[in-house]
Amino acid sequence: MKDEYDLSQLQSRKNPYASKLKKPVTMRISEDVIDYFKEMAEENGVPYQSLINLYLRDCVAKHRKIDISWHS
């Protein structure tokens, strides 16, 4: 391994994974829901936002739908 590298000849290129990067969003989520995911994330050693993303990704993969009907 060299002590120094000459990076002046390095050419930049586009990130091939840029289209798959995560998009930041702002959401209003109840504190108890956040606490639930934070606790579960701590137990599993992952960031809670990653855990929420994994859960939502699983919902997408399994085409889960929620019944939002107001009972009168």
pLDDT tens per residue, range 14-39: 888 877 788 889 999 999 999 999 99
What does the block give as tokens for 70? 């107001």
Can you tell me which residue has the tokens 């137990």? 43
The residues near 54 (Cβ < 8 Å, ≥ 6 apart) are: 46
Q: Fill in the DSSP letter of residue 40.
A: H
d(CA 29, CA 56): 14
| pLDDT for residue 47 is more than 80 | yes
The residues near 58 (Cβ < 8 Å, ≥ 6 apart) are: 64
pTM of the model: 0.66
